[in-house]
Structure 1
């Protein structure tokens, strides 16, 4: 049913609602509230506690504008129990005139402790003796976008609920009714009416923390849709053909014999899993998780070998130029007899034309950044796509590269790698369409990195520590961070630090690398650092992943409180790659927020990437960890992988049962919840 059937929604508004994924009346019904406001009662001013929302009503005692740099309209309101203040930082002259002493006012907002008692800043309010009737149910607050007001969404949702009550909208119950009864959950129709219009006596706390049975009922179906879509996508890919690329031990040994080390048992296990996948006639879909320094690049090279021995092309995409360049150096060493080419966005003009010709022709190994999936990049015979640090790419970017290898008969094999460990439960949810391998072992002789916290006012002893390390033949990083998202600002901050450290350490060779350096200059600095011609390297966070200098044993990260756990862990992983005892100094600026304290303390207490990932999940939520903020899959409208862990387990089990017993219902569940599921889950 078209949205324009609803009062107050014309075609222009309907077009705006499309940006919220609302294309028809049923979509409006499934546009669920983020939270609720309780306007069903009036709270006495004396009973206000602060740190929560409340609705008050009373008489204006006086109103005035404070004098100062930023004028504030203050309205003092009294009821029979006490007096409080309403404050308006942005106000109109007409608003000031209206707030006359003696007038009755009703106000709703977040109550805080002010200097003169309780206060609400910028409340919703209505003036006059005749106030509107109190709401009969909690007021829902919906996700909205520019040009769409909260009132419009509330009115539209109320109309759809009314249509549902009157039987104008038909919604089929798709979950087993016996199961719902056992779980104490209502049917779909009742659940939707409840969440849109919770009655006055509803359990507010359960609604606010998303644990009410009506909310649980909607969550379980949404999660179920996710698992079913992932299964459907996996099945579809397995029904596609892929080149069969078996590899024998002798061919494996060609590469293994070049390595100056032996693979760990974990690496050997994962390589066997990958090569077994690639020998089959349908596309590999495998995620390899490995903590910092666990040796994922070698595993990727052995996967490439399986393609190369059959004369196929293999491609590796990395999120940053510096990481892609590191892979280029390493893979050129491994594949000296193959044509290895590099493509990034900075390669222009004739140089780009030449690289594109090689990719379309004789190139064997292609390494690069986002540039690899541009329309003018044509591959000769692409059989394997490897995506490193997958969470840095949007879903559609990953899909575009994969489709580059698609021809009339086959799809390429896909290997996704991440050095950002993902908690097991989250990996099962996010990558239900992938096989997951974990490199859960570090190379032998790796020493645990010692991490210390240092207030930036006590930084002086650090200079001696750096000098001593470098005099002993070791090397150090000094990482500059900036809160601004400007590469220019980051480069300038690093330049200033570089000049200051050159003066402080005239006896040391200090280098500088940042994102604004030309590609060749960046590589020259990194080569000099690797060759120990540079003892102290000043860098921005461009060195976060991929940089491997075993002799570097000391890292200083300034303003460490500004970085997330995952980024701190990745940066720390640039040291401790040799057999020396390594140290990481996290320099912070006090006072620290509560979250920053937890992050830094976690870094000090553990080197285990999976423990760090679990803490990161608690602090930041799944969206950021998995990179789904960049238009990706797993954008749950209502569910939370950590909070609703039990529901995810139940949904996974139910998905398996429904696929066996009732496959046609599965399609209807997917259609109801995930319009893009079939596309997004291919990745």
Structure 2
């Protein structure tokens, strides 16, 4: 059995892997003597590799079978050193001509081997005495590793090796993603065992059109052990028929589970929330100091139609930054309250929740007060007395609308009659949190209507897949009066010019944001932190109030800083990304984002949306650093270019999906939920279309196939898709 390459790992991790490997191969564990003196627990403890498998979610045979290799090693042939080149990963057979421990900066085992055509030096920075003995002069070895060619000849660092001779492999050797404590040798055996035991019968009905040619069993066996003649390009770009079968199955499982969840939800009951003529929502519309846009009216009508039915609404309201989603939510809340039910609005941060609270208090409190109702505020930072008062108001029903953070879903919060739940920036919440809010309606077989809001527009292909169980409403126009924001890319070397620009803006009575990615020094990232920037700007702008805001500040301090900035007394606010969403200061006309190359595209777009909210000309400066190499990476360059070229949130979202892929794009929507590990929504739309068409047919005509398919791919995780 080949020893696995361990170069680059920490010594403790290497030792753990070595011990696991020794145990797996039945060899003496060098730590065994020490352990014999320790009392053993009465029950058999889980081994480190078993814990690691569980940590990776590889608990079922099918999980192991679906753990596809990251890459492959070719152990099907022996290469002569004379035919090899620098950088090649090769397998050679050679005899040891020298073996010694050297001390060159650090202790290392240096072994010289000769295959008859050339020599190669093997270096081991971590090794056991038993290894040194096994590599004695004269020993013939089969060695595999990456060749590094230099002035003194070839060398390999921590290659894998075993005694020479024996049969060559007939298939490529898989290399799997793993974690500490789980060596490749153990994982290969575990996967092979799982693959042999897994039930891989066909779960796609035989009469399905465009049925994949390969069976799942054929596809998995091939992907774990491809034949040496396979085109590596088709494995790497996942266009091989084996990959196509796997991706088709994965997309089908997702579409089936989401459609199943939607149908199950459609059988539940929700309160009928019918808008009344001259009711609260019409009073609110009449009291507003602005008119709704056509898009706001359209989505409000879609929501009103949904909540008037006794089937739970499950709608995603998406709209670009500043498109006016909060007033749409307020109108939906007014309909619910008028029908005699409560509404809850949950936001991911206290700043965003407070922003909503201030707006909703202003709009709704004057209309609710004559009815003996009010808007309640609930966060984790509240004092015990205030919190108790709010809980009592919610339980009695006097609080018609409850606004807050995740505190809204805590166990002690009991609603009298929750009819509508609104979740803002829903992708920032985990699945369990969204399910907990829906569980606040206590009647069995009932759940509240659910409105989820997002300022990160979802591209159509992504919505079709990840949000197949949602109805989507889109606000596709901005309210009048929003000023276009000019976006400029500026190198960090021109920092002084930016400070002069800030001085001019503040002199005109405008306000400025300066956003930093870190709040304290990091050895890994040489970035100017928010605290240092705050000190520098305070010094450079005498007479200007410069504030500092970051996530580790106590809540009262955050509130005090935001109050000064919102009130206009503070000219410049230095902040981390806690101001990403929800901060609405129309007088702010300049946004400086430091180390913009470190931010994600949707995050940059959200931050840019904090300016341009008033009539003044506004700008967003993306201050970038090229680092030691003197140039930006391709990904960072693509992000900054996209920001400069467009301010359309949907185009930004499309490009973000291209750059980052769907998994990262969706954030914690997926927390605990099954990810698309194999399919790519940018290139596999034909498979997604196939899965979307097949899912309802399978549920209606072949329910037993559908259940087996969902069980195989999702196990117990399908519950999460109900969020």
Structure-2-length-normalised TM-score: 0.84
2:633 corresponds to 1:593: yes
Matched, 1:631 2:671: yes
Q: Which residue of structure 2 aligns with residue 425 of structure 1?
A: 461
Q: Which moved more, 1:631-640 or 1:670-679?
A: 631-640
Inter-partner Cα distance in structure 2 for 1:97 and 1:462: 65
Separation in 1, partners of 2:623, 2:706: 52
Deviates more, 1:659-668 or 1:280-289: 659-668
Change (3 A) 1:11 1:635: farther
Question: Which one of 103, 125, 140 corresponds to residue 161 of structure 2?
Answer: 125
CA–CA distance in structure 2, aligned partners of residues 480 and 342 of structure 1 = 30
Distance (Å, rounded) in 2 between the aligned partners of 1:331 and 1:187? 56
Matched, 1:336 2:365: yes
Q: How well do the aligned residues superpose, as a CA RMSD in angstroms? A: 3.2
| Bigger Cα displacement from structure 2, 334-343 vs 229-238 | 334-343
CA pair 310-672 structure 1, distance change in 2 beyond 3 A: same
Alpha-carbon displacement from aligned partner over 1:188-222 (angstroms, at most 9, x marks no partner): 33223222332333333322332221222122122
Aligned partner of 1:4 in structure 2 is none
Any idea what the Cα deviations from partners look like across 1:500-538, whole Å, max 9, x if unmatched?
A: 212111132222222233333322322322222111111
CA offsets per residue over residues 342-364 of structure 1, 9 Å max, x none? 22222243332222222212211
Alignment counterpart, residue 267 of structure 1, candidates 296, 300, 314: 296
Alignment of 1:101-120 (within 5 A): 103-110=139-146, 120=156
8 Å contact 1:229–1:677 — kept in the other structure?
no
In 2, the alpha carbon distance for the partners of 1:494 and 1:189 equals 54
CA apart distance, 1:65: 6.9
Please, which moves more after superposition, 62-71 or 314-323? 62-71
Q: Quote the offset at 1:133 in angstroms.
A: 2.4
Instruction: Kindly indicate whether the alpha-carbon contact (under 8 Å) linking 1:393 and 1:630 is maintained by their aligned counterparts in 2.
Output: no
With the length of structure 1 as denominator, give the TM-score of the two structures.
Answer: 0.89
- Cα-to-partner distance string for 1:554-597 (whole Å, 9 max, x where unaligned): 01111222211121111111111122221111112223333222
Q: CA deviation at 1:46?
A: 5.2
2:269 matched residue in structure 1: 241
1:679 aligns with 2:713: no
Structure 2 match to 1:174 = 203
For structure 2, the 5+ residue unaligned runs are: 1-23, 27-43, 369-373
What residue number does 1:614 align with? 654
Question: In structure 2, do the counterparts of structure 1 residues 70 and 585 end up closer, same or farther at CA, with 3 Å as the change threshold?
Answer: farther
Matches within 5 A, 1:236-635: 236-248=264-276, 250-251=278-279, 252-337=281-366, 338=368, 339-361=374-396, 362-408=398-444, 410-482=446-518, 493-591=529-627, 592-628=632-668, 631-635=671-675
Describe the SS at the equivalent of 2:260.
Answer: helix
Q: Is contact 2:269-2:447 (8 Å) kept?
A: yes
**Distance of aligned partners of 1:273 and 1:322 in 2 relative to their CA distance in 1, 3 Å threshold:** same
Q: For the Cα contact (< 8 Å) 2:520–2:531, is it kept in 1?
A: no
The change in CA–CA distance for 1:37 and 1:336 in structure 2 (over 3 A counts) is same
Q: Of the candidates 214, 223, 226, which is equivalent to residue 242 of structure 2? A: 214
Contact 1:623 1:629 in 2 (8 A): no
Relative to structure 1, is the Cα distance of residues 78 and 15 closer, same or farther in structure 2, using a 3 angstrom cutoff? closer
Structure 2 vs 1, CA of residues 518 and 644 (structure 1 numbering), >3 Å: closer, same or farther? same
Superposed CA offset, 1:316-348 (max 9, x none): 111111111111111111111341222222224
CA contact (8 A) 1:483 1:562 kept: no
Long gaps (5+) in structure 1: 1-6, 164-168
Work out the CA distance in 2 between the residues paired with 1:411 and 1:250: 27
Match of 1:3? none
More off after superposition, 142-151 vs 60-69: 60-69
Whether contact under 8 Å (1:185, 1:216) holds in the other structure is no
C-alpha distance after superposition, 1:458-504 (max 9, x if no partner): 21111211111111221111112218799xx9999433322221211
Q: Distance in 1 between matches of 2:90 and 2:614?
A: 59
Closer, same or farther in 2 for the Cα pair 1:31/1:266, shift >3 Å? Answer: same
Q: How many residues align?
A: 667
How big is the shift at 1:235? Answer: 0.7
Whether the 8 Å contact between 1:482 and 1:490 is mirrored in structure 2 is: no
Please state whether the residue corresponding to 1:635 is helix, strand or coil: coil
Report how far residue 177 of structure 1 moved.
3.9
What is the CA–CA distance in structure 2 between the aligned matches of 1:461 and 1:250, rounded to whole Å?
56
Distance in 2, Cα, partners of 1:566 & 1:112? 41
* 2:20 match: none
Does residue 188 of structure 2 align to residue 154 of structure 1? yes
The question of whether the paired residues in 2 share the 8 Å contact of 1:394 and 1:630 is answered with: yes
- Of residues 323-332 and 517-526 in structure 1, the stretch that sits farther from structure 2 once superposed is 517-526
1:51 to 1:345, Cα distance in 2 relative to 1, 3 A? farther
Equivalent residue number for residue 640 of structure 1: 680
Aligned equivalents of 1:616 and 1:116: distance in 2? Answer: 47
Q: What is the match of residue 190 of structure 1?
A: 218
Conserved in 1, the CA contact under 8 Å of 2:296 and 2:475? yes
With 139-148 and 186-195 compared, the bigger mean Cα shift is at: 139-148
Aligned residues of 1:48 and 1:118 also touching (Cα < 8 A): no
Q: Offset of 1:425 from its aligned partner?
A: 0.5
Distance 1:64 1:466, change over 3 A: farther
Structure 1 window deviating more from structure 2 (16-25 vs 259-268): it is: 16-25
1:351 and 1:42 map into 2 onto residues whose CA distance is 75
Matches of 2:168 and 2:375, distance apart in 1: 72
Distance 2:364 2:151 in 1: 70
In the alignment, is the contact (CA less than 8 A) between 1:32 and 1:638 conserved in 2? no
Distance 1:115 1:392 in 2: 54
Instruction: Quote the Cα distance in structure 2 between the aligned partners of 1:106 and 1:8.
Output: 18
8 A Cα contact 1:670 1:677, kept in partner: no
**Cα pair distance change 1:222/1:468, threshold 3 Å:** same
How far off is 1:82 after superposition?
5.2
**Counterparts in 2 of 1:368 and 1:121: CA distance versus 1, 3 Å:** farther
Q: CA deviation at 1:228?
A: 0.8
**1:249 and 1:456, CA in 2 relative to 1: closer, same or farther beyond 3 A?**
farther
